[in-house]
A and B are shown apart, each in its own frame.
Chain A
Amino acid sequence: GESVGLHLPTLSVQEGDNSIINCAYSNSASDYFIWYKQESGKGPQFIIDIRSNMDKRQGQRVTVLLNKTVKHLSLQIAATQPGDSAVYFCAENRNQGGKLIFGQGTELSVKP
């Protein structure tokens, strides 16, 4: 079964605030993690990735943190905007070729 899961199914934030979306994984052999954003009626869109030899990686307004000790992954979105409203999925690669295992997803809602 799937082992990548999210702590909260929904998250509501005020525009301009920072958002933090969490993800837990169980396979210590996983060495590559990705966050995807999925808007209604669309396919998943790549946001940011991180390899297991890193603890933190920053992109434009987004930061991914990886804690291998407790098998936890988080996505931080700075100054959240209405356009950030979507479902966010974490995914892991367990060294099984390119296959990614997805979590259930967190729906982010941004209030203006």
Chain B
Amino acid sequence: NAGVMQNPRHLVRRRGQEARLRCSPMKGHSHVYWYRQLPEEGLKFMVYLQKENIIDESGMPKERFSAEFPKEGPSILRIQQVVRGDSAAYFCASSPLDSATNEKLFFGSGTQLSVL
């Protein structure tokens, strides 16, 4: 049973370019969460998605950032017109279908985004 898969592992972009980060949840999981981590800081919640729905995007910046989790395929975190302050590690996590009770999240290895 493969874990949460994220790609690419490292992504380098120049200012103004677009960054696309992908996340495939664990098999059987239909809830996906994106977190951002700056150096020597904790993980900051960005967005929580279920298939084809955004459940909670309270941690997403108002501009340039968007996320989706289509019916087929991985979840995508998209950052348009990247700036140097977007440089961070972006982690995806997933949890099972039944989230009526609180469940631990399973994390991927992250995508390290570097903006030049």
| Residues of chain A having any CB pair with chain B under 8 Å | 2, 4, 31-32, 34, 36, 41-46, 49, 51, 89, 91, 93, 95-105
Contacts and interface: CB of A to CB of B under 8 A. Distances in A.
Interface of B: 4, 31, 33, 35, 40-45, 48, 55-56, 91, 93, 95, 99, 102-110
B42 A99 contact: no
A43 B36 CA distance: 11
A89 B56 contact: no
A102 B42 contact: yes
A103 B93 CA distance: 17
A89 B102 contact: no
B108 A105 contact: no
Given A97-B48, A99-B56, A32 B102 contact: yes
A102 B43 contact: yes
Closest CB pairs A-B (n = 4): A43-B107, A32-B102, A102-B42, A102-B43
12 contacts: A2-B44, A4-B42, A42-B109, A43-B4, A44-B107, A49-B104, A89-B43, A97-B56, A98-B33, A98-B48, A98-B99, A105-B41
Contact of A46 (B31, B33, B104): B104
Nearest to B110: A43
